[in-house]
């Protein structure tokens, strides 16, 4: 933890590269793209895994991954698996947009505090 803080202070972070496309993830594993994480509820067909791979999704292979993620709903994977290939892109964009909005709202709440704290600060100013 001290090394982590020191690296942050000295700004000596190494940007990780996107790992190469690996084998299909097994049921129960997790895949990630940027700050989003999705739970794999069943072994994906080749076509679906190819779709995810092209978008940049990769399986998390770290035993103790301490990164912070926005978890997509568990039904997301099943929803995308049941979609036809023609409607998969639309559904995928909707899921990513919803996760992005959720992430932005969480960041805003973290900066301004929760609703009760923000209301208390506003009341104390008047």
pLDDT tens-digit readout, 38-52: 999 999 999 999 999
Decide if 96 is inside a domain: yes
**Is residue 123 predicted with pLDDT exceeding 50?**
no
User: What's the mean pLDDT in 68-81?
Assistant: 89
DSSP state of 126: -
Is residue 2 domain-resident? no
Q: Which residue has the higher pLDDT, 113 or 66?
A: 66
Write out pLDDT tens, residues 80-115: 999 998 899 999 999 889 888 877 776 667 667 655
Evaluate whether 35 touches 68 at the Cβ level (below 8 Å): yes
Residue 24 lies inside a defined structural domain of this protein: yes
- 63 occurs within a structural domain: yes
Q: Determine the angle formed by the axes of helices 75-82 and 46-55, rounding to 10 degrees.
A: 110
Structure tokens at 76: 């997301």
Tell me whether residue 69 is in a domain: yes
Pair 33, 57: CB distance under 8 Å: yes
| Count of domains for the chain | 1
For residue 24, the enclosing domain spans 20-125
In this structure, what is the dihedral angle of CA atoms 58, 61, 64, 66, given to the nearest 10 degrees? Answer: -20
């Amino acid at each position: 933890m001290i090394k982590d803080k020191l690296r942050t202070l000295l700004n000596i972070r190494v940007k990780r590269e996107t790992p190469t496309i690996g084998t299909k993830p097994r049921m129960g594993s997790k895949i990630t793209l940027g700050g989003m994480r999705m739970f794999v509820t069943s072994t994906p067909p080749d076509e679906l895994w190819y779709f995810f791979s092209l978008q940049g999704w990769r399986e998390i292979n770290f035993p103790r991954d301490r990164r912070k993620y926005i978890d997509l709903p568990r039904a997301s994977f099943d929803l995308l698996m049941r979609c036809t290939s023609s409607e998969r892109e639309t559904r995928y964009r909707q899921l990513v947009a919803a996760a992005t909005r959720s992430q932005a709202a969480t960041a805003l709440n973290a900066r301004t505090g929760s609703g009760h704290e923000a209301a208390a600060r506003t009341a104390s100013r008047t």
